[in-house]
Amino acid sequence: MSAPFATRLRTARSPIQLAEPGAGSITLRVEASDIWETVRVIARPETPVADVKRRVVTELFPNDASPEVFVLKLRGWEVLDERSSLKDAGVVDGSILLLAYRRRRAER
């Protein structure tokens, strides 16, 4: 079986490791829409969505590291219960999540 497409795409940053790579872990991509930046995340399916969001926000937005101002979307829909696990939210190996600001920001 080949690796999921999302895990083979290049990113400029090292993966965020919330779990050891290998059996039982999944790899997903999180894309930040406002800055056109992408990061891979290695996690266990039981990892809460909020943990992934917090680590990605800290990595991609070090000066604006307040996870509450961001939402994670899967297949275009906001993940409403961030306390749920990745598996319960529908995230599988190779999923791509979008990280976006909760409110639209004014153009400067």
The CATH number of the domain holding residue 24 is 3.10.20.90
- Residue with structure tokens 């939402």? 71
Give the full edge-to-edge strand order of the sheet including 77-78: 16-17, 37-43, 26-32, 96-101, 70-74, 77-78
pLDDT, tens digit (0-9, with 9 covering 90-100), for 47-92: 999 999 999 999 998 887 788 889 999 999 999 999 999 999 999 9
Task: Mark 43-80 as b/e (b = at least 16 C-beta within 10 Å).
Answer: bebebbbebbbbbbbebbbeeeeebeebbbebeeeebe
Our count of domains for the chain comes to 1
Residue 20 lies in a domain: yes
- Is residue 2 predicted with pLDDT exceeding 60? no
Which pLDDT score is estimated for 40?
93
pTM: 0.82
Parent domain of 84:
5-101
Which pLDDT score is estimated for 106?
58
